[in-house]
A and B are shown apart, each in its own frame.
Chain A
Amino acid sequence: MNQSDNRLSAALRRLRAIAPGSAPPALGDTLKGEFRRYHLRRRRDRNARILLAAACLAASVGAFLILRPRTSNTAAIHEPIQTTLPSKANVSAGATEPKPTQLRTVRNHGSNRIRKSSASAADRFVALPTFDPAIPIDHLEMVRVDLPGRALRLVGFPVSEEVADRRVVADVLLAQDGTPYALRLVQNSSNKEQ
């Protein structure tokens, strides 16, 4: 480093020394105030968001509690399911196998409904040959079926020729193994077959 370099370095040091020592003090106060205000706003926004989220959650829970399906002793109707008539084993051989039929299943294992149902419509239920009086009524399940009247003969239900050609809706009392024990006609549908 030669003399001119040294001289330049010294001059630069002096230039540094005469430069302002710091920013104006008011700037620091302004910035600290701004920092405080900014974070206050941020905290307020965050709290508002949390409150809003909590309110939405509470509203959702409330709506769910109000609108949820209530479980009661009345029968719960489920979506139609594709199945075949139960107790094929009990059906006499050589009979025409019924085609898969759309069922509306009424499920309730509570004894109240069955008792109520059997009390109101006991006279209309017809015991089938497979009926076993030893089976407690609590263990029965009622299934509503929509099928050709002729198919009822397969489980031993007496059907007149007129009804045999129509589609009928019937309630079937089934044991837990699917054996039909009793049946009642609910209504006669219009003849859709043939």
Chain B
Amino acid sequence: MAEPNLVDQDLYRQLAKGSEEAFSALYERYQARLFRFAWHMSGNSATAEDVTQEVFMLLIRNPGNYDRAKGSVAGYLFGIARNLTRRRLDRTRLDEPLAEEWMEGNGLTSDTDMLADLARVELLECLQKAVLGLPEQYREVIVLCDLEEMSYPDAAVVLECPPGTISSRLHRARLMLKARLQCQGCVK
């Protein structure tokens, strides 16, 4: 069994040599985060599952693609997930990113009443709609920094831009999110 305290890069090295334990350890560390990232980006469980699977398939087949000099293993994995998600969203032309499955899955209905309490489940639905409606580059920073609580430098590696850009993009994304929520009548 792989040591639980092994750093990602050690695990990755062992994985590249064919260690199944190292693969399992890396999978357990990252599968949930990658799945959630893809889920928040697409609003779709099937897409999230496919993206997660493809990320790890790439890891199995091309372990040599990772260059530790370019950043962390997490950044590398999220970078792959981001590209795959983008490709899928482009392919399915998700112009109207309302996550119908999300609504059906949670048994929610549209609520246009003006509500102040964001704890209400209906408002979470509004928020999800608003996040999915954001332009991709703003949605990515909201998902990575706010929903996945990734640090700015790590997010910068994933999104291939300077940390300062992450900060400004996140600020703008939040403003857009609030405006959308207000437009949808979810908040006062």
B-contacting residues of A (Cβ < 8 Å)? Answer: 4-5, 7-12, 14-16, 18-24, 27-28, 30-32, 34-36, 38-39, 42-43
Contact = CB atoms under 8 A, between A and B. Distances in A.
B147 A19 contact: yes
Contact of A8 (B18, B53, B106, B178): B178
A23 B52 contact: yes
B52 A27 contact: yes
B48 A23 contact: yes
A27 B174 contact: no
27 contacts: A4-B187, A8-B177, A11-B124, A11-B127, A12-B146, A14-B119, A14-B124, A15-B124, A15-B128, A15-B131, A16-B36, A16-B146, A16-B148, A18-B106, A19-B39, A20-B45, A20-B48, A23-B32, A27-B49, A28-B24, A28-B28, A30-B53, A31-B23, A31-B27, A31-B57, A34-B60, A42-B18
Interface in B1-45: 18, 20, 23-24, 27-28, 31-32, 34-36, 39-40, 45
Interface of B: 18, 20, 23-24, 27-28, 31-32, 34-36, 39-40, 45, 48-49, 52-53, 56-57, 60-61, 106, 118-119, 123-124, 127-128, 131, 142, 146-149, 174, 177-178, 181, 187
The 3 closest A-B pairs by CB, nearest first: A22-B32, A11-B118, A23-B35
Contacts of A20: 35-36, 39, 45, 48
Contacts of B56: 31
A131 B34 CA distance: 98
Nearest to B32: A22
A103 to B, nearest CB: 61
